[in-house]
Amino acid sequence: MQVDKTTLNDLAIFSHEEEQSVLHHLDFTRTVGGREWLKALLGKPLGSIKEINNTQQLLQRVMAIHAQWPETVSNGTVMVLEKFYDTPIDEMAQHANTLNALTYKALHGPDFSLVKYSVTHFSDFVRGLHALETLLRDANNPATLQVMGQRISMLLNKPELQAIITSPKSQVVTTAEILQRGFFFRRRFKEECFELIDIYCRLDAYYSMATACIKFGYTFPQFVESDQPQFSATQLRHPLLKTPVACDLTLTPQQNFLFLTGANMAGKSTFIKAAGLTAYLAHIGMGVPAKQVTLTYFDGLLSNIQVVDNIIQGESYFFNEVQRIRKTIEKISDGKKWLILIDELFKGTNVQDAMKCSSTVIQGLLKMNNVLFVLSTHLYEIGEALKVFPNIQFRYFETEVKNGQLLFSYQLKEGVSNDRLGYLILKREGVVDLLEKL
């Protein structure tokens, strides 16, 4: 699925304010490398339904053994291993015995202390990887998990490592054994160790995704094979909200355009982003924040939510809105399946211009049956003329005024809103009172 940087930014997949990003929300990794793998997996939608189904099965397998996931390996463990290879130390004997081991300890005390400390962490790492491989061992594993498990087993299948795995952790390790293991790890196992670290970090990323699915109650969407796009979600919610209000959304080839209205702060932008995030997470094989989702594989996802002006290049907000729409139309004219999200079309010009431009664009987009659209607007007046098109559906977010106070239910209703509450918001926030006192 094609996704550009603007869309990733609109949906807050990654963000300069990290705590407000989807990455941060899904991050339950235990290692720095795991977080980098999570970022890579989150930033690259998968290329087919088969790949998506394989990732779903992988995450479901990890979820099934989530409670037994070994805690032996930590980020500190990985850091010690990496540091051990980077730190210069005096050479150890290839074949350590009691005499030369005690000599090394006496003459190279600081180096011996580092070797002993590192060997302890190496042993924990080896035991942890063995426990993880055993836990994940299953003939029905998806291919990716099967390959990683087999590779771990192969790399650990060395006499020096099997001796560590089979010996009790409480068993006392002699000075000679410490140096034997230190020499082996440093001189005989460096490349293999870094490969195991990379495998563990990748599993750590999958563990993080599985943890998020469990913690937030995500469900795995069902993909259907079809030449025409469709998207159906029950109790859809935005994953970054602490107390979201769930809504339903259905887009079909027969009704592929959602015309969304409502007052400012009523929930339009949040709903559009929730729909986009659900589609996006589905395409990386992740569970989604909804009770049930059925959709086709989309060839692309594009948004037009947070357009900005460009002072350096002398480009106005409206100009960039026009350019974004032009590029969107060029991309989605390829006959493939797209999901397009547009929030408050043509905010950067006067009302009359905005109405004319919006009507023109919407009526043009309605001709495309290979694309699903979710579009919000504050220009309620253009809705009446659009009712002649059978493939457009009208929804709005309800707002109520009681005793001069705005009440937002965040419930999605059928029809077109005619709320004009800008002045009430201005008054509620005290701006009117401040101006009257000037």
Domain map (residue ranges) of the chain: 31-216, 222-436
Cα 412 to chain centroid, rounded: 26
Of the candidates 426, 396, 421, the residue with the CA atom closest to the CA atom of residue 409: 396
- Asked if residue 297 lies in contact with residue 228, where contact means CB atoms within 8 angstroms, the answer is no
Residue 174 has a CB neighbour count (10 Å cut-off) of 11
Contacts with 48 (C-beta within 8 Å, 6 or more apart), sequence order: 297
Q: What CATH class does 222-436 carry? A: alpha beta
- The Cα–Cα gap between 162 and 182 comes to 15
Residue 90 has a CB neighbour count (10 Å cut-off) of 11
Contacts with 41 (C-beta within 8 Å, 6 or more apart), sequence order: 205, 206, 209, 284
Q: Is residue 145 classed exposed, middle or buried when 0-12, 13-18 and 19+ CB atoms within 10 A define those classes?
A: buried
Residue 252 has a CB neighbour count (10 Å cut-off) of 14
- Asked if residue 87 lies in contact with residue 115, where contact means CB atoms within 8 angstroms, the answer is no
- Asked if residue 379 lies in contact with residue 354, where contact means CB atoms within 8 angstroms, the answer is yes
Beta-ladder partners of 402: 405
The dihedral through the CA atoms of 156, 160, 166, 171 has a sign that is negative
Provide φ and ψ at 369, rounded to 5°.
-100, 0
Beta-ladder partners of 258: 374, 393
What's the count of helices (H) and strands (E) in the chain, helices before strands? 17, 11
Query: Distances from the Cα of 255 to the Cαs of 145, 388, 390, in angstroms?
Result: 40, 13, 7
pLDDT tens digits in sequence order for the chain, 438 residues long: 999 999 999 999 998 787 889 999 999 999 999 999 999 999 999 999 999 999 999 999 999 999 999 988 999 999 999 999 999 999 998 888 999 989 999 999 999 999 999 999 999 999 999 999 999 988 788 989 999 999 999 999 999 999 999 998 888 899 999 999 999 999 999 999 999 999 999 999 999 999 999 999 999 999 999 999 999 999 999 999 988 999 999 999 999 999 999 877 788 999 999 999 999 999 999 999 999 999 999 999 999 887 654 543 435 778 888 888 999 999 999 999 999 999 988 877 788 888 898 999 999 999 998 999 999 988 888 999 999 999 999 999 988 777 767 778 888 999 998 776 666 666 666 777 777 777
pLDDT at 421: 62
Contacts with 28 (C-beta within 8 Å, 6 or more apart), sequence order: 207, 208, 211, 212, 215
In this structure, are strands 338-343 and 300-304 parallel, antiparallel, or unpaired? parallel
Query: Distances from the Cα of 384 to the Cαs of 351, 414, 418, in angstroms?
Result: 16, 14, 12
Q: What is the DSSP string of 200-263?
A: HHHHHHHHHHHHHHHHHT-B--EEE--SS--EEEEEE--TT-SSPPPEEEEE-SSS-EEEEEE-
- Asked if residue 345 lies in contact with residue 375, where contact means CB atoms within 8 angstroms, the answer is yes
Helix 143-156 to helix 159-166 angle (10° resolution) is 100
Beta-ladder partners of 125: none
- The Cα–Cα gap between 121 and 317 comes to 56
pLDDT at 320: 82
Dihedral angle of Cα 290, 224, 48, 324, to the nearest 10 degrees: -70
In this structure, are strands 231-236 and 247-251 parallel, antiparallel, or unpaired? antiparallel
Characterise 358 by phi-psi region: left (phi > 0), alpha (psi -120 to 50), beta (else): alpha
